[in-house]
Amino acid sequence: MNRREIIIVVLALMLAGLAGCSREPESRGPQVGTGPSSSGAPVYRFAVHPLHNPAKLLRAYQPLVDSVNSRLQGVRLSLEASRDYASFEEKYLARKPDFILPNPWQTLQAEKVGYRVIAMAGEPQDFTGIFVVRRDSGLKLPADLKGKAVSYPSSTALAACIMPQYFLHSHGININADIQNRYVGSQESSIMNVYLKLTAAGATWPTPWRAFQKEHPKEAAELEVIWETEPLVNNSVMVRDDVPAPVAEQVRALLLGLEATPDGKSVLAGMETARFLPASDRDYEVVRQYVSRFEKEVRAVERK
């Protein structure tokens, strides 16, 4: 076995450790939109896009669902994780979850199949793309990446791929010819590819980077953020158009009120999210314009 094969095996083992000994099930709730809970109350599926691996996402977001459920009247939410961006996108395009927390590009796609925005998950200023490199990389300028590999969670990750690729494009890099683009499935994998020297730089965004620093301080100490994009607009919370309006409004109000209570502040801190903000579909028009410019100048985004 050569050195590269050994490194790949080590990466697979480390990523498996980050995700837990086995995969989380694709759904922790009912397999259809709503159904009775043990108490007889209808259950609404709340699917969150893969900010983290499934096990870690459930640890971060289950307290949010528990907090909302403790105040909901007559209904319950059930948290659902996905193994990667593609599986999450398949779910909402098939209109399976009742509520979703997608990234801004996915927000535009979900609008097309009948979801609408009811809140924004985090401050817009926190939605930036960042490049993580090893401290011993020797990289100084974006041009230094020519001929090297860059890792991303997914080709449709806005802050962790589209915005970083546009940053490189604006600094004279032809992302389709000058670098090797590797779409590695998750934020943690994008970072770990850099740590294991499989890529020269990894794209991610502040929320998973802060979580990685807390949970893996030894590995994070060998890495640093070298470049950061301009901010855009943060992830949304959306509801499917056939969910009763009183249910949607209850969930919206409880999310917006989290920062006003000690319990809510603790929940938000565990998610690395400052607060939920009022928002609507109109707030994401800026993303439509940004992606349109990106597709004209760089590459197509939509999955084929």
Task: Point out the residues of the chain with pLDDT beneath 70.
Answer: 1-39, 303-304
- The total number of residues shown for the chain amounts to 304
- Please tell me the predicted confidence (pLDDT) of residue 40: 80
Residue 87 zone, left/alpha/beta (φ > 0; ψ -120 to 50; rest): alpha
Helix (H) or strand (E) holding 179: none
Q: How far apart are CA 294 and CA 297, in angstroms?
A: 5
Whether the model pTM is above 0.85 = no
Q: Are 120 and 238 in contact (CB under 8 A)?
A: no
Domain parsing of the chain, residue ranges: 28-124+233-297, 128-228
Structure tokens at 45: 């599926």
pLDDT attached to residue 38: 55
Question: What pLDDT was estimated at residue 20?
Answer: 38
Q: Do domains 28-124+233-297 and 128-228 have the same CATH topology?
A: yes
Alpha helices in 70-144 (DSSP H): 85-93, 104-111
Strands (E), the chain: 34-36, 42-48, 76-80, 99-101, 115-121, 130-134, 149-152, 180-183, 201-204, 223-228, 236-240, 276-277
So what's the pLDDT on residue 128? Answer: 97
CATH code of 28-124+233-297, in short, is: 3.40.190.10
Quick one: pLDDT at residue 54? 86
Angle at 205 between CA 136 and CA 101, to 5 degrees: 155
Protein fold of 128-228 = D-Maltodextrin-Binding Protein; domain 2 (3.40.190)
CA 281 to centroid of chain Cα atoms: 19
CA gap 112, 244 in Å, rounded: 19
